[in-house]
Amino acid sequence: MENIKENSAGPNAKFISKAVDVVMLPEISKYVTDTHTLSKLKILTFNNLACILKKEKHYMMALKAVSFAIDLEHELLDSCKEGEKYDIVPTYLNKAAVLSEMGKHAKALE
């Protein structure tokens, strides 16, 4: 995250990196009390971070961010009630886009 703050990646990157810092604070649970909502907020933030990092050609960091989002989504799916729907496809598409930019097209198709 420090690389994003120090680089000239633009105002969006700095904003998203600040958002990541905020959603990862333990105190955030005082304001967002529903764990599913907090998980979705973190997933969205890390997906957005991955998009910005990909755009700025920081592919390994983008891959880490989107992989973290996927891990969070699997935790969310495991805690969903029966019949509750949640779509993780967009995050996998985001990961495929990062892998494709890295030239790992076969891995992106998996």
CB 35 within 8 A of CB 79: yes
Burial class (CB in 10 A: 0-12, 13-18, 19+), 64: middle
pLDDT of residue 5: 46
Distance, C-alpha 4 to centroid of its chain = 15
Whether 69 and 98 have beta carbons less than 8 Å apart is answered as no
- The pLDDT tens digits of the residues spanning 18-42 come to 777 887 888 887 888 888 888 888 8
The stretches in the chain having pLDDT less than 50 are: 1-6, 8
The pair of three-digit structure tokens given for residue 69, joined into one six-digit string: 């989002």
**Two tokens, residue 55:** 């755009």
Structural domains in the chain, sorted by start: 2-109 (1.25.40)
